[in-house]
A and B are shown apart, each in its own frame.
Chain A
Amino acid sequence: MAESVSNITAQMPRAKLAGLLLFFLGPAVVIYTLFSIYPLVATMALSTYTSDPSGARYFVGLANFETLLRDALWSKPFWNALGNNLIFFAVHMCVQNPIGIALAGLLSLPGLRLKGFYRTVMFLPTMLSVVIVGFSWNLILSPLWGVAAGALKAVGLGSLFAPWLGLESSALVTLSLISVWQFVGIPMMLIYAALLNIPDELIDAARVDGLGQFRIFFHIKLPLVLPTISLVSVLTFVANFNAFDLIYSVKGALAGPNFATDILGTFFYRTFFGNQLQLGNPTMGAAVATVMFFIILLGLCLYLFLVQRRIRRYAF
């Protein structure tokens, strides 16, 4: 049996080991520190300052956070954005991931023809620019030129059509579904790859035991790809709470109507960069960004402690 890596490093002279570590990890550490850790710390530092009209900055401690969470002027849009963000996330979890799993399950069926074609078609939107996706769907759903109204009418459901992107009640869900349409390829591919990893012997054994494809999927394949599904969920969570581009490109920085589509990303953008006559407020914006960071961190910690530790992995 080959010697394990830890044994090799243990026998190495200290200086040589340090040199090796520096050589392999150094560049990554430097770049990561410079472009990820430093901006993060600088943002947190900035969030403890305030500035006056002349541009001078003063240290105010946690006052910005107190304003953000306690002053109705700030807390109302903040909670609204957080609530909308949760809906945005929920739609992705309830629609995007189950569809992704189902598509992956169908793709992995033995004997399915044109697999490569389906895979490509379903993954294609993921590679499009969000601005193009937003623009196209805006046109498709447009009550003036869109094909949506005509398509519904053709199947006798014309009365169901509404200007979905313009109504407070439906704008957010519509945008979430557009995002789902675009990104469903990612869970599909990840889960598909995991399904391909399941040894044929297991499936064959199940079939010998008399299980149909449906039960094989639910009783054999699904439990085996659970770790991948939980990974997909985490990716979805992080991406959704950082989301900004689709809403901005379709609804603008004011995330109308009446902030019905405002999520943390657009709220942050408006605060930091300003909008029209509203001048940007970098210190308050930094506070919003910091809170967003902690929300994502909290979500990840919950996931790590409650889910990740309980997942059972199978080695074949």
Chain B
Amino acid sequence: MRRTFKAAMGAEAAALALLAGLSSAQAGSLKIESWRNDDADIWNSKIIPAFNKQYPDIKIEFAPSAPKEYNAALNARLDGGTAGDLITCRPFDASLALYQKRQLDGVDGIKGMDNFSDVAKAAWQTDDGKTTFCVPIASVIAGFIYNKEAFAKVGVSEPKTLEEFHAVLEKLKKDGTYVPLVMGTADQWEAATMGFQNVGPDYWKGETGRANLIAGKEKLTDPQYVAAFKEIASWAPYLGSGFQAQTYADSQNLFSLGKGAIYAAGSWDISTFRGQAKFAMGAFPPPQPAGTTDCYISDHTDIAMGVNAASKNKEDAKKFLEWLTTPEFATIYANALPGFFPLAKTPVKVDDDVAATMVGWRQICKSTIRNSYQILSRGTPNLENELWNVSAQVVNGKLTPDAAGKQLQDGLDKWYKPAK
């Protein structure tokens, strides 16, 4: 009998503790769900204190999960009613599904939302673009980071056009000191993300092409897409020896050890290089194909935040979201995490010079997001996965640019029937 009594006491204590935990997550306090556990320090030491200067009464807890587990863990907590008040949103379908299940509220009513362009919001909108359900936080930009010492030694400068780009690569190859272009195809995604999606927008005119592809007005077999594949296919002679087995980590090491001259980059690489590379770095946007005047960059929206529809403290949550739209937040975020760029229209001063250069491209080029991300990767075969495979094969010389476009379009045609 005594034992049952003890057990009951224990259970009760546990239940009480649970209730206390739940109630502490209510009035006056907010909990943030996120996959950015790498950034927990920055949130706790910089972002939240800055917010608390204006709103000292709102207590905020940053409670991240591991990136790989985030989707599953978040879904389980939302279904079970134990998720935090603020939900960090992945771009496109993962978050759209949450909105469709009515687990996220719309955020169009929040003051400051007009501080974001349509492109910035597109990743967290319904397909018709009428409702936005997360406040954009950051994007990542693709381009090329280069070793300034290597350029000085070989006597070349930042290329503006693809013709110049190839001339630079040729010179670097002749010189032989450096691997002219650092990129591997072992992990496949680099060929797609830092290859095809990096130089491609200039060919398909960024958002115009992306929208046309979704509308079914353009096909991946069209010349502008095949041309992008032709361009990345032409990189093979300038890549490191055995690039077919070179992983992403290999590429990062190769460049930060000073053995490579140009690195096909995402801006998220900046912080890695800052920690390791001992040489001066510069960055240039994707060089332009002959005959084009406007330039386009892949300015890919990656992180946003929304309100849990079941939150007990929506009022405070909305105050926080409103603060996320301010230049103050944007400045803190951009400088704490160089390479993750705020999406607000108001310009932000970024201290890191490479990061500042990359975000500066927004002033001269038009932003677009990766064309496989919205809607087109909803079915089977998945366009993004296909693109990884096909791009790597094109660079490896195993697939012609024409065949690559055909394979992608054939896959898309199997399940995607846009209204024409």
Contacts and interface: CB of A to CB of B under 8 A. Distances in A.
Interface of A: 53-55, 73-74, 138, 141-145, 162-168, 251-252, 254, 256-259, 275-279, 281
A144 to B, nearest CB: 5
Contacts of B44: none
A53 B393 contact: no
Contact of A277 (B101, B186, B373, B389): B373
A277 B372 contact: yes
Nearest to B189: A276
B94 A142 contact: no
Interface in B336-388: 372-373, 377, 380-385, 388
B278 interface: no
A257 B392 contact: yes
Nearest to B247: A138
B188 A141 contact: no
Contacts of B97: 53, 279
A254 B396 CA distance: 16
B194 interface: no
Given A54-B100, A252-B188, A144 B254 contact: yes
Task: Provide the main secondary structure of the chain A interface.
Answer: loop
Contacts of B244: 163, 166-167, 257
A298 B187 CA distance: 35
Contacts of B373: 277
B372 A256 contact: no
Given A73-B414, A257-B393, A279-B94, A143 B188 contact: no
Given A144-B254, A277-B372, A54 B241 contact: no
B246 interface: yes
B93 interface: yes
A277 B246 contact: no
A255 to B, nearest CB: 10
Interface in B113-172: none
Nearest to A279: B93
B246 A143 contact: yes
B218 interface: no
29 contacts: A53-B100, A54-B101, A55-B101, A73-B381, A74-B380, A142-B242, A143-B240, A143-B245, A144-B241, A144-B242, A163-B244, A163-B245, A163-B246, A165-B186, A166-B243, A166-B245, A166-B246, A167-B245, A254-B188, A254-B389, A256-B185, A256-B187, A256-B392, A257-B396, A276-B385, A277-B93, A277-B372, A277-B382, A278-B377
B250 interface: yes
Given A143-B240, A254-B388, 17 more contacts: A54-B101, A142-B250, A143-B242, A145-B250, A163-B243, A163-B244, A163-B246, A164-B245, A166-B242, A166-B244, A252-B188, A254-B188, A257-B244, A276-B382, A277-B382, A277-B385, A279-B97
Contact of A258 (B94, B382, B393): B393
A54 B98 CA distance: 10
Contacts of A144: 240-242, 246, 250, 253-254
A134 B184 CA distance: 18
B406 to A, nearest CB: 15
A257 B381 contact: no
B242 to A, nearest CB: 2
B371 to A, nearest CB: 12
Contacts of A145: 250, 253
A256 B93 contact: no
B398 interface: yes
B298 to A, nearest CB: 15
Task: Tell me which of B92, B185, B244 has the highest count of chain A C-beta atoms within 10 A of its own C-beta.
Answer: B244
